Amino acid sequence: GQNIDQPTEMTATEGAIVQINCTYQTSGFNGLFWYQQHAGEAPTFLSYNVLDGLEEKGRFSSFLSRSKGYSYLLLKELQMKDSASYLCAVAYSGAGSYQLTFGKGTKLSVIP
């Protein structure tokens, strides 16, 4: 089976930097996604990593270490609108199928 762990909640200050970690155990690993979900809304895509290393996209960066089963999402220059849940999703393939398994999400609260 697939197992994904990420912290349940985090709080950070406006303007600061926050790192949200995700660890996973899976077979047939085929990449890792990060999604953002505001309360009452649909998840929206943030990033995708399939190779080790850091992917930067504006204020958001995502890192992957496949050997350690570890990823993090880095949010810089936090804004109040960044208050949301952040979902780590591991892609895996096998027996002709390709699926995402989502973690339970990390609820980030940005305070003034």
Kindly list the residues in this chain that would bind another protein in the complex (CB under 8 A).
Answer: 30-31, 33, 41-45, 48, 87, 89, 91, 93, 97-105
- Judged by beta carbon, residue 18 or residue 88, the one nearer another protein is 88
Q: Which two tokens stand for residue 1?
A: 């089976």
Q: Smallest distance, Å, CB 98 to another protein?
A: 5
Q: Smallest distance, Å, CB 15 to another protein?
A: 29
- Judged by beta carbon, residue 78 or residue 88, the one nearer another protein is 88
Q: Smallest distance, Å, CB 40 to another protein?
A: 8
- H/E run at residue 46: strand 44-49
- Judged by beta carbon, residue 16 or residue 50, the one nearer another protein is 50
Count Cβ neighbours within 10 Å for each residue of 23-47 and write b for 16 or more, e otherwise: bbebeebebbbbbbeeeeeebeebb
Q: Smallest distance, Å, CB 37 to another protein?
A: 9
Q: Which two tokens stand for residue 26?
A: 């899976």
Separation of alpha carbons 98 and 82, rounded Å: 30
- Judged by beta carbon, residue 42 or residue 51, the one nearer another protein is 42
Could you tell me if 6 and 33 are in contact, meaning their C-beta atoms sit under 8 angstroms apart? no
